[in-house]
Structure 1
């Protein structure tokens, strides 16, 4: 969703219509954008996660992240949570769950992924 809005904005900035069927790579090349918005969002979410995990035990952000509802969920596909996304980002970057304890190590591992 974020990427589609971003590409719509970039296309309009270049005065291109969706009816022209120009590929996203071409629009990015014309605007000289190397990274997408999600490439900027992911490391920031990881940095925030490490920051909250290092907080004191009774802070509201930490309590919110660690909260698990006791009631059953509705039938159907399980909803994905913010924490599920953070876990996926950590798997993508091969970050261990406990590395948030050392701030310098955490910040070095949470950097932007390299584009190939």
Structure 2
């Protein structure tokens, strides 16, 4: 990275960003549509992302410029949001597949092997559920919308706020009223609690 075009001042920012979008980012997130990332992996991805973008902008961490300001100046969305959009696009594509296709059958298949001791492994489905909740919807509504490819693509490309417990202002009407979903504004982790009437 140090010996490449990223540090050459005679190369414009727009050219460096084209290299980022066409080479660096696709290489970094190859196969991301099926990823199940934990906080440590997200942190390492963000570190690689910001290392490149800060060099493009000509600043270092010592300048104490927040990541959001760097992305805003370069007009680049965060890598986490980009991955989430790609995962939603693939999820919608799976929903539109015929049920007898091999990919759809494997996706719908359930693992019947005996589970090992310890905490259950986190699967890909809860990842999609968390992304949809952050966007103010849920799986049943999103599944119906994904059947229309054009509408689903427009909805996925739509920018959504991520700075509140309910990003869209309030939970969707179709979400059961006895379940509360809380989203951490720092790590975007979703937690739910069921209220039991006494």
Structure 1, unaligned runs of 5 or more:
none
Structure 2, unaligned runs of 5 or more:
1-41, 164-198
Counterpart CA distance in 1 for 2:120 and 2:130 is 16
Counterpart CA distance in 1 for 2:152 and 2:71 is 30
SS of equivalent to 2:132: helix
1:51 shift after superposition: 1.3
**Contact 2:89–2:153 under 8 Å retained in 1:** yes
Q: Name the residue aligned to 2:48.
A: 5
**Contact 1:43–1:112 under 8 Å retained in 2:** no
Counterpart CA distance in 1 for 2:133 and 2:147 is 17
89-98 vs 46-55, greater mean Cα deviation: 89-98
Corresponding position: 1:98 with 2:143: yes
32-41 vs 9-18, greater mean Cα deviation: 9-18
Counterpart CA distance in 1 for 2:147 and 2:68 is 38
1:48 shift after superposition: 1.5
Paired residues, what number? 114
Structure 1 or 2: larger helix share? 1
Counterpart CA distance in 1 for 2:54 and 2:113 is 45
Q: TM-score if structure 2 supplies the norm length?
A: 0.47
**Larger-Rg structure:** 2
Q: Name the residue aligned to 1:55.
A: 97
SS of equivalent to 1:89: helix
More RCO (CA 8 Å, sep 6+): 1
